[in-house]
Structure 1
Amino acid sequence: MKKIIYIGLMVAGTLTFSACSDYLDVNTNPNGPDSLLQPELFLPQIQSEMAVAVQWDGRFAGFYTQNWAYTSGSSYSLNLHSNPLSDTYAQLWRAVYFSMGYNLSDMIESGINNKKYDFVGVGYIMRAYGWQMLTDYHGPVIVTEAFNSDQRVFNYDEQPVVYEEIKRLLLLGIENLDRTDGLSPSDSGLIQADLIYAGNRDKWKKFAYGLLAINAHRLTNKSSYNADEVIGYVDQAFTGNQDDASIGFDGTVSADTNFFGPLRDNIGYYRQTKFMMGLLDGTNPELTDPSLIGADPLPENATEHLKDPRITAMMAPSPDGQYRGISPELGINEWSAAEASLVPKNFWNQVGYKGSTPSPQIYFFNNAARFPLMTYAQLQFIKSEAAFISNKKDVALTAYQEGVKSHMDFAKQYAPDPALFESRKTAYLNSTELFPVATEELTLSKIMLQKYIATWGWGMLETWSDMRRYHYDIDAADPVYKGFELPDPLYISNNGNPAYRARPRYNSEYMWNKDALEVIGAYEEDYHTYETWFSKPE
């Protein structure tokens, strides 16, 4: 792992020279400045790299969870990561160890030296977020020996070590954000540098508590799991959609554009799945209400189930105006050339595989759209699940209701017809099948399927972690993810098992860190199916 610092870019944008010799006078080190740069010069790049990495690798986790499928069908399903000779699925690895890496360490050190403790707090939280996303995706990762410039090979840490380090960093982050002896955000430069919260310390602390909740809630299969602790963390986190963590993009050129936008052209071959569509059109067995057949306000849907109001905000229509999903096994091949009007458009509201600025915009799939990193709805569903499995059904019901309503409010901003959205929302929330008002009507499946909807398209790593906690409902008498089906058969290297982890990055690990890979079994052909520690019952 090499120390990569984008000195040229940052210096070019921040220094003014009176003469060439003046610049040379400040450096005795020919490879870069002797002193640390100010922390505000690190943070925007760090945040952007982290967000793009979550989107990059989340694309592939989204195949596992059937958020979307590839148009050609089974070549992209739950069979990924079987080939280690690729960096295609390892952007998070690169972001955490390279793009953030020493830069984040230097930002924290510079913040301490310059009494910019808000940067220190944000730095610790960003590092914890990186570790959480990375270990959720890869399982064992390198933490205790990371960023040691005296080493050339690095041993892996199992997840118990990583999880404890995440918690330690988050508490350190909160501690530094609570400090009053340093510069204020307006004086430190955090307001200008922070692309997520514009320097708001309180929201960063809420984000940290949200991540503590995520970290603790992963362990539902452990005897040490503490539902009250999870609920307590959520209660100290977001209080509404106004606290949601998201990152913005200018959307003018590829380098400053949303990774999912048409200018980047990364998801043109992706389409929503039948599973996701079933959650929104009333055909999923858990999210259906027979009394709502014929209740949809659109005349053309007079004989159909009420559509979830979020369907028009989140999903891409077909050219004929109807909403459909594709099968991960078949892709768009289930329709003939003569049935082209039935094929779902891409997420840029275009027929085919390219796009421009969509009108109307579909969800956050646009060049300058903000991309979510954590939401109030997500945390409410975590609280609901924690309360449900600890038999606090009243708490679970209230959190469930909060999660559904808040995500509907979130989605409405993308609705092409707000009046239609509100009409459907009223009917939806009046259904005690879809929106329970009594504790005995609430089910674990409803909680997790509504969470699936709320994290669709951005929280793929969260959803994949949830599905692994429930072991994809394999052999479950009462499935949580009703309507979800694994590909059959799976890829031959899977030996009949679904994926549980992504392989480490090829270009750093398989080329330079081979001995450490041998220890964790990463050369085995089915390594990607080894169960992650957090999902194992103990």
Structure 2
Amino acid sequence: MGTCSISCEDYLDVNTNPNGPDALLQPELFLPQIESELAVAIQWDGRFTGFYTQNWAYTSGNAYSLNLHSNPLSDSYAQLWRAVYWSMGYNLSDMIRSGELNEKYGFVGVGYILRAFGWQMLTDYHGPVIVTQAFDPDRRTFDYDEQSVAYEEIQRLLLLGIESLDRTDGLSPEDSGLTEADLIYQGDKERWKKLAYGLLAINAHRLTNKSSYDPQQVIEYVDQALVGNQDNALIRFQGTVSANTNFFGPLRGNIGYYRQTKFILGLLNGSNPAFQDPDLLGQDPVFTAEEQYLNDPRITSMLATSPDGLYRGISPEVGINEWTTAEAAMVPKNFWNEVGYRGSNPSPQIYFFNNDAQFPLMTFSQLQFIKSEAAYLAGDMAIALEAYKEGVNAHLDFARPYSPDQEIYDQRRALMESSDVVFPETSAGLTLSKIMLQKYIATWGWGFFETWSDMRRYHYDLGVEDESEAVYQGFTLPDPLFEANNGNPAYRARPRYNSEYMWNQEALEKLNAFEEDYHTYETWFSINE
């Protein structure tokens, strides 16, 4: 009886603090949940920016306001806010502190990098966020920081992360538990450092509209980042129950009403003006009509057919209302390759839209297109062309395993590689539009904040009268946009309703965040200065 009493008392001592346990848990107990929370939050909120960038559109057309660039006042559209400040929040701080105390410095480095990753995604989505006062336990209201403050903090954290991962003292990833706990890189510290340099490149490259922008610095960061698809940051899911399933899988049922748009379809069926190659008309191995452009091989990996076997897309304004009931066979299937709004076991699977499919957080091809654009802006066309080709080829390799017919995939790829339009032989054939559109393809369906940040940097091509001079050729904003937008597209998401609009109203007043068109206010990083 005495032994039970002592052991029970020791156990209860852990919980003398009413706000949480006093004893600091080992860092490996924090990491899997933190990584999962970040990935799910990126998918959760990213799907809404996917409407703005026309990765997809809601089936009901203009009856769904996000198709028209609205941003409703609701917690439903601010999961990243919850993840960064709460789910990750103090748990991430405790993981870093526990890593220090237990000489598990790999967890410290990964922790700093994940904190930076969260800040980058959060500020890209919301614009001004709470950084300097975020984890002050003595405060109940918090002041917002402009994005410039967040960007500097991201850089600081990434450099701290790299420094911690460079340490040779302390426990190894195997002995510390990092190898087993890490859902992304299985404790590979070198790959985590590459991810950190990739984030530094992303952070620095957001600032193309600033006089301080340094393309050479961006290129140097990319060259220290991922070196191939083997370094892609992919988070894995078990896919057995809802709690451990890919957010885009049929078990979760979150994207059943989404369909591919005419814009992504045009990029993958060869009809986009930037990639039309008249020399390849009628050369497609499947769709052989003389007026048919060569389909990009990735179309079978990434998009759904209609029941009649053809590929179609929808517009944000009309949705599937483009077709009558009698034309049901022409309506694109959902991303689980089924008719209607539900799914079970996709066959064949479309891209990574399945329960146990790994989801990308950063890829080699994404970074190569960043390098290509940076070099293009710097006038170094040789590097721009080389990185462009690296990016396209890397994503062609990435998408191939998802193709239901890899023989057809390879035939189309060989024809595509022969095209001087898609693969220019010299830098004279490379355009900014080609770089950004191929990047759009490579980040479609996952790199939501990257794509939206790019479109905002180029201001949605507003004011560009000649289509051939547009960066996003073939892209048109919904017309009309949501009424409350006053004719302007979305540039930011509102802060989370429950924590901010309920309890932090004074700070929101300073941002004018109660205005109906607040979400159309331009973000700091995209402003020319």
Inter-partner Cα distance in structure 2 for 1:175 and 1:18: 42
Code of the residue aligned with 1:88 in structure 2: it is: S
The one-character-per-residue Cα deviations of 1:29-68 (angstroms, maximum 9, x if unpaired) are: 4554321100000000000000000000011000000000
The counterpart of 1:344, out of the listed 321, 332, 347, is 332
TM-score normalised by L of structure 1: 0.95
The residue that corresponds to 1:234 in the other structure is 222
Q: How far did residue 299 of structure 1 move? A: 5.6
Question: Please, which of 61, 64, 69 is the counterpart of residue 57 of structure 2?
Answer: 69
Look up the equivalent residue of 2:37 and give its one-letter code. E
Q: Which residue of 2 aligns with 1:170?
A: 158
1:8 aligned partner: none
State yes or no: 1:485 paired with 2:473.
no
The residue identity in structure 2 corresponding to 1:155 is D
- What secondary structure, in the 3-state scheme, does the structure 1 residue paired with 2:57 have? strand
Shift of 1:182: 1.2
Once the 2 structures are TM-superposed, how far is the Cα of residue 26 of structure 1 from its aligned partner? 5.0
Q: Unaligned 5+ residue runs, structure 1?
A: 1-15
| Stretch deviating more after TM superposition (420-429 or 19-28) | 19-28
CA contact (8 A) 2:306 2:312 kept: yes
Structure 2 counterpart of 1:511 = 502
Check whether the contact 1:79–1:494 (CA below 8 A) recurs between aligned residues.
no
Identity %, equivalent residues: 70
Shift of 1:437: 1.6
Q: Is the 8 A contact 1:78 1:499 kept in 2?
A: no
Task: Deviation per CA, 1:332-382: give whole Å up to 9, x if none.
Answer: 001111111111000000000000110110000000000000000000000
Shift of 1:298: 1.6
One of 69, 73, 83 as aligned partner of 2:72: 83
Using the TM superposition, give the Cα deviation of residue 521 of structure 1 relative to its aligned residue in structure 2, in angstroms.
Answer: 1.1
Letter in 1 for 2:72: N
Q: Deviations over 1:118-149 (max 9, x none)?
A: 00000000000000000000000000000111
Q: CA deviation at 1:492?
A: 1.5
CA distance change for structure 1 residues 81 and 113 in 2, over 3 Å: closer, same or farther?
farther
Residues 139-154 of structure 1 aligned to structure 2 (within 5 Å): 139-154=127-142
Amino acid at match of 1:350: E
The 5 Å alignment of 1:218-297 reads 218-297=206-285
- CA distance in 2 between counterparts of 1:30 and 1:94 reads 22
Q: How far does residue 301 in structure 1 lie from its aligned partner after superposition?
A: 4.6
Residues 26, 49 of structure 1: alpha-carbon distance in 2 compared, 3 angstrom cutoff: closer
Distance in 2 between residues matched to 1:196 and 1:400, nearest whole Å: 26
Q: Check whether the contact 1:500–1:528 (CA below 8 A) recurs between aligned residues.
A: yes
**In 2, distance between residues paired with 1:32 and 1:214?**
36
- 2:362 counterpart (374, 381, 386): 374
| Mapped pair 1:494 → 2:485 | yes
Distance 1:399 1:34 in 2: 51
State the TM-score, normalizing by the size of structure 2.
Answer: 0.97
Which residue of the partner structure matches residue 380 of structure 2?
A: 392
1:373 partner letter = L
Amino acid at match of 2:344: S
Q: Does structure 2 conserve the Cα–Cα contact (< 8 Å) formed by 1:317 and 1:345?
A: yes
CA distance in 1, matches of 2:462, 2:489: 10
After superposing on structure 2, the runs of 4+ consecutive aligned residues of structure 1 that deviate more than 6 Å are 16-19
Shift of 1:445: 0.2
C-alpha separation in 2, matches of 1:536 and 1:31? 42
Once the two structures are TM-superposed, the CA of residue 527 in structure 1 deviates from its matched residue by: 0.5
Q: State whether structure 2 residue 190 is matched by structure 1 residue 202.
A: yes
Q: Which structure 2 residues correspond to residues 13-28 of structure 1 after superposition, within 5 A?
A: 20-21=8-9, 23-24=11-12, 26-28=14-16
CA contact (8 A) 2:53 2:451 kept: yes
Cα distance in 2 for partners of 1:237, 1:402 equals 14
Query: Compared with structure 1, are the counterparts of its residues 82 and 404 closer, same or farther at alpha carbon in structure 2 (3 Å cutoff)?
Result: closer
Distance in 1 of aligned mates of 2:252 and 2:15: 38
* 2:463 is equivalent to residue 475 of structure 1: yes
- Contact 1:76–1:328 under 8 Å retained in 2: no
Cα 1:429–1:60 shift into 2, 3 Å: same
- Relative distance call for 1:81 and 1:336 in structure 2 (3 A) is closer
Cα distance, 1:524 vs. partner? 1.2
Say which SS state the counterpart of residue 454 (structure 1) adopts: helix
C-alpha separation between the residues in 2 aligned to 1:191 and 1:18?
A: 35
1:151-198 per-position Cα deviation (integer Å, ceiling 9, x unaligned): 000000001100000000000000000001111101111001000000
Q: Within 1, Cα distance between the matches of 2:137 and 2:298?
A: 49
Aligned residues: 522
Letter in 2 for 1:134: L
Specify the alignment match of 1:318 in structure 2. Answer: 306
Q: Cα RMSD over matched residues?
A: 1.5
The 8 Å contact of residues 57 and 67 in structure 2, kept in 1 or not, is answered as no
1:114 aligns with 2:105: no
Q: Distance in 1 between matches of 2:457 and 2:67?
A: 16
Of 34, 40, 51, 2:22 maps to: 34
- Residue 442 of structure 1: aligned partner: 430
Q: Is the 8 A contact 2:352 2:358 kept in 1?
A: yes
- C-alpha distance in 1, partners of 2:91/2:211? 38
Partner of 1:537: 528
Cα separation, partners in 2 of 1:301 and 1:192, compared to 1, 3 Å = farther
After superposition, the Cα gap between the structure-2 partners of 1:423 and 1:175, relative to the gap in structure 1 and judged at 3 Å, is same
User: 8 Å contact 1:81–1:89 — kept in the other structure?
Assistant: no
Report deviation, 1:434. 1.1
Separation (CA, whole Å) in 1 of partners of 2:399 and 2:262: 20
Helix, strand or coil for the counterpart of 1:69?
strand
* Equivalent pair of 1:218/1:469 in contact (CA under 8 Å): yes
